[in-house]
Amino acid sequence: MLTLTDVRDQATWDGALLRLPQPHVLQSWAWGETKAQTEWRARRLLWLENGQPVAAAGLLVRRLRVGGPGLPAAVAYVPKGPLLDWTDSGLTEAVLHSLEREARRAGAIFLKIDPDVRPDEPLGEATLATLLRHGWRSSAEQIQFRNTVINDLSPDEESLLAAMKPKWRYNIRLAEKRSVCVRGGSPADLPLFYAMYVETGRRDHFLVRPYSYYQQIWEPFLAQGLAHLLLAQVDGAPVAGVILFRFGTTSWYFYGASTAQSRPLMPNYALQWAAMRWAKAAGCTRYNWWGAPDVLDESDPMWGVYRFKAGFGGEFVQSIGAYDYPTQRLLYWLYCVGMPRLLEAGRRRHRVTSPAPEGGEEQSE
């Protein structure tokens, strides 16, 4: 008998996730708590069979706001979930049906999911067929990366090094020769890391939020042992850093930063090797690089980043990406098609009557 329950404490929730296939840090209790700062409210839905957890979904709901009070509608999202054995077709059907019902009850005009299911396997084909039969559709808005690179950390360190490209092994040794040392960081080092992160964002043209936003993510995860900061230093001065997240037996490389002057010293190679060694020592069997091109083609904007990641010997892994379940089809169309058209028309009128401020427009989330 399958029963659905709301979990209201962290120990029960995280403990249940760790007993399910491919537990993801974006489904953890801590991640749901951090999303409150961007007006998401988290519900933790757990499906039990004979008292044992068989599926889970950290359901995030946010009321829509358009220049005023909240509208009588919302959007819902299960990041990198739901978690379940997707080979169990009966369980899959039941969980999808429950999630669709809960999205309607929450007043959501649509529900988005993006589980780690590979499309290039029979399981992926069966899952896609089930989603389409239920009325789900491929989302135009892919919140998370569809694809990634994953290193298997099971082999010993010598085997991990041997699997890398020769140039990558050479650069790791070169960083050591150039006096790059890597140390673990603490919350007191977060402002240093953020300063490098701001520099990296300006150099690579990505949006960087205020420090307070990241502080509310980084500090709780560090305090709970779910994140780890590594800093590369030369003569005691930080030149690069990474923040890793960990949940279960997987570690994710979520944040990286470096100074422009440090590049000839190859600190990022030393950092990533130190990160892989740390994850392995912490009991992780997978190192997830968090992001790869949709198509392996040199014209893709992420090609250079992908080459760097793949050089460490990881495997390119695809997923089916995000799928939306519209509970209110007209409002869903207005949200996905109508609203962007109106916003773009407004921007065009604004550009005609008033020049953009120096530095260009702010990037959206």
Q: Tell me, what's the pLDDT at 263?
A: 85
Q: Tell me, what's the pLDDT at 353?
A: 33
Give the type of residue at 124. Answer: G
For residues 167 and 251, membership in a common domain is answered with yes
Domain end position, chosen among 244, 273, 290: 290
In a domain, 350, yes or no: no
The whole-angstrom separation of Cα 222 and Cα 254 is 13
In a domain, 138, yes or no: yes
- Distance separating the N- and C-terminal Cα atoms of the chain: 41
For residues 236 and 253, membership in a common domain is answered with yes
Q: Which residues of 315-333 are buried (b: 16+ CB within 10 A; e: fewer)?
A: eebbbbbbbbbbbbeebbe
For residues 184 and 270, membership in a common domain is answered with yes
CATH of the domain at 234: 3.40.630.30
Instruction: Quote the number of domains for the chain.
Output: 2
For residues 138 and 242, membership in a common domain is answered with no
In a domain, 66, yes or no: yes
Are 166 and 186 in contact by the 8 Å Cβ rule? The answer is: no
For residues 176 and 131, membership in a common domain is answered with no
Strands 237-247 and 250-258: antiparallel
pTM of the model: 0.90
Q: Which residues of 77-90 are buried (b: 16+ CB within 10 A; e: fewer)?
A: bbbbbbbbebeeee
In a domain, 32, yes or no: yes
If 0-12 CB within 10 Å is exposed, 13-18 middle and 19+ buried, where does residue 174 land? middle
How confident is the model over 311-353, as pLDDT tens digits? 999 999 999 999 999 999 988 988 888 666 554 554 555 433 3
Token couple for 207? 């949006």
In a domain, 30, yes or no: yes
For residues 6 and 75, membership in a common domain is answered with yes
For residues 250 and 221, membership in a common domain is answered with yes
Q: Tell me, what's the pLDDT at 342?
A: 53
For residues 132 and 162, membership in a common domain is answered with no
In a domain, 334, yes or no: no
Q: Which residues of 30-46 are buried (b: 16+ CB within 10 A; e: fewer)?
A: bbbebbeeeebebbbbb
For residues 141 and 180, membership in a common domain is answered with no
The whole-angstrom separation of Cα 150 and Cα 206 is 23
The DSSP result for 189-234, as a single string, is GHHHHHHHHHHHHHHHT-----HHHHHHHHHHHHHTTSEEEEEEEE
Structural domain containing residue 178:
148-290
Domain end position, chosen among 270, 290, 310: 290
Are 25 and 247 in contact by the 8 Å Cβ rule? The answer is: yes
Token couple for 351? 């550009």
For residues 19 and 117, membership in a common domain is answered with yes
Low-confidence ranges of the chain (pLDDT < 70): 66-72, 338-365
Q: Tell me, what's the pLDDT at 338?
A: 64
For residues 68 and 134, membership in a common domain is answered with yes
